[in-house]
Amino acid sequence: MTGLRVRHRRTVALDSVDLDFGTGVHGLLGPNGAGKTSLIRVLATVAEPAGGRVEILGHDIGDHRRRGAVRRHLGYLPQDFGYYPGFTVREFVAYVAWLKEMPADRVPAAVERAVARVGLADRIDAKVRGLSGGMVRRVGIAQAVVNDPRVLLLDEPTAGLDPEQRVEFRELLRELGASSTVVVSTHLVEDVAAACTEVTLVDAGRIAYRGTPASLAALGESAGGPGDHPIERGYTAALRAHRAPDERTESTTRTEPAARTDRPSASGGTAR
DSSP codes, 101-127: T--GGGHHHHHHHHHHHTT-GGGTTSB
Contact 118, 144 (CB under 8 A): no
Question: How far apart are the C-alpha atoms of 154 and 166, rounded to whole Å?
Answer: 14
pLDDT category of residue 269 using cuts at 50, 70 and 90: very low
Q: 25-49: per-residue pLDDT in tens?
A: 999 999 988 999 999 999 999 999 9
Pick 10 or 113 by higher pLDDT: 113
Q: What domains can you pick out in the chain, each with its CATH number? A: 2-73+149-270 (3.40.50.300)
Using a pLDDT cut of 70, give the percent of the chain over it. 89
Contact 57, 45 (CB under 8 A): no
Q: 128-168: per-residue pLDDT in tens?
A: 999 998 899 999 999 999 999 999 999 988 888 888 888 88
Q: What is the pTM of this model?
A: 0.86
Q: 176-206: per-residue pLDDT in tens?
A: 999 999 999 988 888 888 889 999 999 999 9
98-105, long-range: CB < 8 A, 24+ apart: 100/71, 100/72, 100/74, 100/146, 100/147, 101/68, 101/72, 102/146, 102/147
